[in-house]
């Protein structure tokens, strides 16, 4: 379970940060069996084709991001919970690239399934770190579960998980 935000928490203090999310190919393979589709329905994964043939490759925030949790069996999420006490991780959003590297290291054999993305709250003036580029604007929950209406409606149906 994620660390709850204090009642006096101001979202403005968290203008940007890193999420560690499933790569698109991993997300596709994880959810394709759920639907059992063999025809196109928007960009929902199909069981009869590879993720490489998918016309839309979702790169947004709602890709099963790791989250800080004291109850997780994932060592990386336990580490994220530890640094949350210092304000370095809030709802899976990591402030520092060094912490991202440590999270990926702690994922061990699963590290290749994940990728870090840098996200910025609309209106924030934080600059993208070196090596990251702007992919667009997504209407999603910045904190919490990073739910994305566009992903849920057209790609990976999260409401029916």
Domain boundaries, the chain: 15-160
Is residue 61 predicted with pLDDT exceeding 60?
yes
Res. 126 pLDDT band, cuts 50 70 90: confident
64 in helix, strand or coil? coil
pLDDT at 25: 94
Range from 10-19, 25-34, 126-135 carrying the lowest mean pLDDT:
10-19
Q: Stretch 138-151: mean pLDDT, rounded?
A: 72
Is residue 6 predicted with pLDDT exceeding 60?
no
Q: Stretch 52-71: mean pLDDT, rounded?
A: 88
122 in helix, strand or coil? coil
Q: What is the pLDDT of residues 27-46, one digit of tens each?
A: 999 988 988 889 988 888 89
pLDDT at 148: 78
Q: Whole-angstrom Cα distance, residue 89 to residue 111?
A: 19
Distances (CA, A) of 50 to 30, 42, 45, 110: 12, 16, 9, 21
pLDDT at 120: 84
């Amino acid at each position: 379970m994620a660390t709850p935000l204090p009642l006096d928490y101001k979202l403005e203090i968290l203008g940007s940060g890193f999420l560690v999310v499933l790569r698109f190919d991993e997300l596709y393979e994880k959810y394709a069996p759920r639907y059992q589709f063999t025809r196109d329905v928007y960009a929902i994964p199909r069981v009869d084709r590879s993720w490489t043939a998918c016309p839309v490759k979702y790169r947004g925030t709602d890709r099963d991001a790791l989250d800080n949790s004291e109850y997780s069996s994932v060592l990386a999420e336990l580490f994220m919970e530890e640094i949350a006490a210092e304000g370095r991780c809030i709802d899976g959003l990591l402030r520092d690239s060094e912490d991202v590297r440590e999270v990926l290291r702690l994922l061990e054999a699963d590290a290749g399934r994940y990728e870090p993305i840098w996200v910025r709250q609309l209106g924030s003036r934080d600059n993208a770190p070196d090596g990251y580029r702007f992919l667009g604007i997504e209407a999603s929950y910045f904190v919490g579960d990073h739910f994305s209406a566009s992903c849920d409606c057209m790609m990976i149906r999260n409401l029916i998980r």
